[in-house]
Amino acid sequence: MEKRSSIVGGLILILVGTLFLFMQLFPGLAGRLDLARQWPLIIVAVGGFFLLAALLGTPSLAIPGSIVGGIGSLLYYQNLTGNWDSWAYAWALIPGFVGLGIMIMYLLRGQPKRAFREGGRQLVVSLVLFVIFAAFFNGLGGLGQYWPVILILVGGWMLLKRR
């Protein structure tokens, strides 16, 4: 496991070093990349490296990879659109990133049943929370005034699920 970790760490350092070297050698490159707007892609890339390490034989790294990559994606969206107020409800996606990581981890271990049972449930709960909070804080079009209906439906589903 240490050998794989050092391989992934070495790859990260080589890629980051290469990027900064090209920016030193070609000063116009930094202007084209517009790092002021693209910086969240660095976070997404770190998450991608964790997912790559998970694919290369350390499946448990899929969990931090999906969390870091997911948060980086949220930051990228917010940085491009300026919609920083969406953090009021976007945080509800973070448990879903954990659930996605759990699903990927168990799928890589060859346990698909466990993947969907443990990670899928968390992913669904996260998405439901996201929709509820987005409807409450953002209005989500005309859905904003009907967000209590979502609560009623989820509560009814939870009652029927137990029967």
- pLDDT tens-digit series, residues 13-29: 777 788 778 777 877 76
φ, ψ (nearest 5 deg) of residue 57:
130, 0
Helical H segments across 26-119, by residue range: 27-33, 35-38, 40-55, 62-81, 87-90, 94-108, 112-114
Give the phi and the psi of residue 162 in degrees, each rounded to 5.
Answer: -80, -15
User: What's the pTM?
Assistant: 0.71
The pLDDT mean for the chain works out to 82
- Residue 148 is predicted with a pLDDT of 74
Q: Would you place residue 117 in the very low, low, confident or very high pLDDT band (cuts 50, 70, 90)? A: confident
Residues 9-66: tens digit of each pLDDT: 677 777 778 877 877 787 776 666 666 677 888 889 889 888 888 888 889 999 999 9
